[in-house]
């Protein structure tokens, strides 16, 4: 397979337990459908319920035609500039493949981690309800959706205790734990 960015060869590589393709020269990464989600989940388990959905916030992205050709379909891809991430995703609309330049995967992870840490209790509550619904209707399977639900509940618990230090101290005292000062 040839790199859509520089034309060099791409080789299969296991990164965070997921097999992806990496350019031997420019180090761009090619993700087949769903591989980006899987690698994100393996890098940071707390992000398993958060999807980097390139179509999620229509106001945050712009789409531009791109002369780069998909290494699988040999059709022109589009470049999606995604909001505050400073990431430009090269996307094939036919096979769903994604090309990220060197370092862009880490930018996506950092963006999601920042989003995770800045959510408030109300946002976690909404996410909890959505994840509860996905246990029944989600496409990732019951066990995966249950894990997502449990992660959101845990993150909401952390947020509640962070925003309410007196509550955290009371709970710790009741459990016989010396609370962190």
Determine the pLDDT at residue 94: 94
- Give pLDDT < 50 ranges for the chain: none
What is the Cα–Cα distance from 111 to 125, expressed in whole angstroms? 21
For residue 80, which of 92, 57, 96, 64 has the smallest C-alpha distance? 64
Bridge partners of residue 31, in order along the sequence: 98
The answer to whether the beta carbons of residues 49 and 129 sit under 8 Å apart is no
Domain boundaries, the chain: 10-118, 121-174
Determine the pLDDT at residue 57: 64
CA atoms within 13 A on the CB side of 141: 2
The answer to whether the beta carbons of residues 178 and 143 sit under 8 Å apart is no
Determine the pLDDT at residue 73: 94
What is the Cα–Cα distance from 97 to 93, expressed in whole angstroms? 8
Q: pLDDT tens digit string along 107-128?
A: 988 988 888 888 898 998 898 8
Residue with tokens 């230090």, as numbered in its chain: 165
For residue 41, which of 17, 13, 20 has the smallest C-alpha distance? 17
Determine the pLDDT at residue 19: 93
Determine the pLDDT at residue 101: 94
Determine the pLDDT at residue 52: 65
Determine the pLDDT at residue 77: 94
């Amino acid at each position: 397979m040839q790199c859509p960015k520089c034309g060099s060869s791409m080789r299969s590589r296991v990164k965070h337990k997921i097999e992806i393709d990496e350019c031997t020269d420019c180090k761009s990464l090619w993700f087949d459908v769903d591989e980006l989600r899987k690698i994100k989940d393996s890098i940071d388990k707390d992000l398993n319920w958060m999807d980097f959905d390139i179509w999620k916030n229509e106001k945050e992205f712009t789409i531009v035609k791109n002369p780069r050709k998909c290494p699988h379909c040999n059709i022109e891809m589009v470049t999606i500039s995604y909001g505050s991430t400073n990431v430009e995703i090269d996307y094939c609309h036919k096979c769903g493949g994604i090309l990220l330049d060197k370092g862009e995967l880490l930018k996506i992870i950092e963006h999601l981690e920042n989003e995770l840490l800045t959510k408030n209790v109300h946002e976690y509550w909404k996410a909890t309800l959505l994840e509860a619904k996905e246990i029944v209707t989600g496409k990732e399977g019951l066990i995966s959706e249950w894990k997502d639900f449990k992660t959101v509940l845990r993150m909401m618990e952390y947020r509640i205790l962070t925003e309410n230090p007196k509550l955290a101290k009371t709970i710790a005292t009741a459990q016989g734990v010396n609370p962190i000062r």
